[in-house]
Amino acid sequence: MTQAPINLLLASTSLHRAKLLKQLGLTFTQEAPGVDEELYRGLPPVEMARSLAEKKARALQKRGGFIIGSDQVLEVEGEVLGKPGSAKAAVEQLMRLSGKTHRLITAVALLEAATGRIEVDVDVHRLTMHAWSRLELEAYVAHDQPLQCAGSYMLERRGIALFERIEADPDAADSTAVVGLPLMKLVGLFRRFGVEILRQ
């Protein structure tokens, strides 16, 4: 098993993903992968998440070392919801989710730059939202400002109060996945490469 320190890059500028990755006690850098997510919107939701996670990792392959790519796709009744970008659009997305169950699909990819080998895993959570009025959802959006979050909520903040039930992926039941980076699955990917995180 590898024991020498690894060179690790997170292909994301997300503060939430970085905070999660720090839980593993690893030293890493961050960089935006510069991938146009809109080009993948025609794919089925799980394939879209997997493809984007892989593409984000491969986009920074020239940086060397190990590169982590991750992506989340929110699917409700067959429709994929993207980042709202405005408070008005955020409220409309939440109205679409209000009182319904949707899937939050989180893919993580780990690329070994030197060999081009990549391993990918996917987590799927089912989230059921309470029914809310437009006025209540407007108040929530004003508080959390989830304008860059697919589905227009932030579970790591007040957004957790929106939900009646969250059903985890039965294969992992990894709560870190819903925030954006499934750490248990990521550790599993490292092990496929012979990297034991506790030895880093």
Q: What residue spans of 61-109 are helical by DSSP H?
A: 87-97
| Amino acid symbol at 178 | V
Q: How many CB atoms lie within 10 A of CB 146?
A: 23
Catalytic residue among 36, 71, 123, 169: 71
Q: Is residue 71 among the annotated active site residues? A: yes
Question: Cα 22 to the chain's mean position, in Å?
Answer: 15
Which tokens hold the place of 82? 């993207």
**DSSP character string of 36-99:** -GGGGTTS-HHHHHHHHHHHHHHTTGGG-SEEEEEEEEEEETTEEE----SHHHHHHHHHHHTT
Catalytically active residues, by annotation: 71
